[in-house]
Protein backbone atom coordinates (compact mmCIF):
# COMPACT_ATOMS: atom_id res chain seq x y z
CA UNK A 1 0.00 0.00 0.00
CA UNK A 2 2.70 2.54 0.80
CA UNK A 3 4.01 2.15 -2.74
CA UNK A 4 0.91 4.04 -3.87
CA UNK A 5 1.70 6.83 -1.39
CA UNK A 6 5.21 6.96 -2.82
CA UNK A 7 3.90 6.98 -6.40
CA UNK A 8 1.55 9.86 -5.58
CA UNK A 9 4.44 11.80 -4.06
CA UNK A 10 6.53 11.15 -7.16
CA UNK A 11 3.67 12.58 -9.22
CA UNK A 12 3.51 15.62 -6.93
CA UNK A 13 7.25 16.26 -7.32
CA UNK A 14 7.08 15.98 -11.10
CA UNK A 15 4.01 18.19 -11.39
CA UNK A 16 5.47 20.83 -9.09
CA UNK A 17 8.65 20.94 -11.13
CA UNK A 18 7.13 21.35 -14.59
CA UNK A 19 3.75 22.85 -13.67
CA UNK A 20 0.32 21.31 -14.28
CA UNK A 21 0.07 22.62 -17.83
CA UNK A 22 3.28 20.90 -18.93
CA UNK A 23 2.80 17.68 -16.97
CA UNK A 24 1.26 16.06 -20.02
CA UNK A 25 4.59 16.54 -21.81
CA UNK A 26 6.58 14.53 -19.27
CA UNK A 27 7.72 11.34 -20.94
CA UNK A 28 10.09 9.88 -18.33
CA UNK A 29 10.20 10.06 -14.55
CA UNK A 30 13.47 8.54 -13.37
CA UNK A 31 13.72 7.29 -9.81
CA UNK A 32 16.54 5.93 -7.72
CA UNK A 33 15.38 3.21 -5.34
CA UNK A 34 17.74 1.73 -2.78
CA UNK A 35 17.78 -1.96 -1.91
CA UNK A 36 17.07 -0.99 1.72
CA UNK A 37 14.43 1.64 0.93
CA UNK A 38 11.64 -0.67 2.05
CA UNK A 39 10.02 -0.53 -1.38
CA UNK A 40 8.68 -3.42 -3.42
CA UNK A 41 9.89 -2.30 -6.84
CA UNK A 42 7.39 -4.26 -8.95
CA UNK A 43 4.56 -2.92 -6.83
CA UNK A 44 5.93 0.63 -7.14
CA UNK A 45 6.17 0.24 -10.93
CA UNK A 46 2.53 -0.76 -11.04
CA UNK A 47 1.48 2.20 -8.88
CA UNK A 48 3.56 4.61 -10.98
CA UNK A 49 1.92 3.25 -14.13
CA UNK A 50 -1.44 4.15 -12.60
CA UNK A 51 -0.40 7.63 -11.44
CA UNK A 52 1.52 8.60 -14.57
CA UNK A 53 -1.20 7.46 -16.95
CA UNK A 54 -3.74 9.82 -15.42
CA UNK A 55 -4.12 13.60 -15.63
CA UNK A 56 -2.21 15.84 -15.41
CA UNK A 57 0.17 13.23 -16.84
CA UNK A 58 -0.74 10.81 -19.56
CA UNK A 59 2.30 9.76 -21.51
CA UNK A 60 4.96 9.48 -18.85
CA UNK A 61 6.63 6.22 -17.95
CA UNK A 62 8.68 5.46 -14.88
CA UNK A 63 12.30 4.46 -15.09
CA UNK A 64 13.53 2.88 -11.88
CA UNK A 65 17.25 2.64 -11.24
CA UNK A 66 18.14 0.34 -8.39
CA UNK A 67 20.81 1.52 -5.99
CA UNK A 68 22.46 0.29 -2.79
CA UNK A 69 21.40 1.80 0.53
CA UNK A 70 18.08 3.38 1.38
CA UNK A 71 17.96 6.16 -1.20
CA UNK A 72 14.51 6.95 -2.58
CA UNK A 73 14.38 9.97 -4.81
CA UNK A 74 13.29 11.36 -8.12
CA UNK A 75 16.50 11.71 -10.15
CA UNK A 76 15.34 13.50 -13.27
CA UNK A 77 12.47 14.09 -15.67
CA UNK A 78 12.45 13.99 -19.44
CA UNK A 79 10.03 16.40 -21.02
CA UNK A 80 8.98 16.45 -24.66
CA UNK A 81 9.08 20.08 -25.66
CA UNK A 82 7.42 21.11 -28.91
CA UNK A 83 10.01 22.62 -31.28
Q: Which residues bind other proteins (CB under 8 A)?
A: 1-2, 5-6, 9-10, 12-14, 17-18, 27, 31, 36-39, 70, 72-83
Residue 55 vs 83, nearer CB to other proteins: 83
State CA 28 to chain mean position distance: 8
Residue 38 vs 54, nearer CB to other proteins: 38
Burial of 54 (0-12, 13-18, 19+ CB in 10 A): exposed
Residue 38 vs 58, nearer CB to other proteins: 38
Please give the DSSP secondary-structure letter assigned to residue 69.
T
Rg (CA), the chain: 12
Q: What minimum distance in Å lies between the beta carbon of 82 and other proteins?
A: 7
Amino acid sequence: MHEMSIALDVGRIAEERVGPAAAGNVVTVALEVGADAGVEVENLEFCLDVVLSQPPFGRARALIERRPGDVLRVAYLEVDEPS
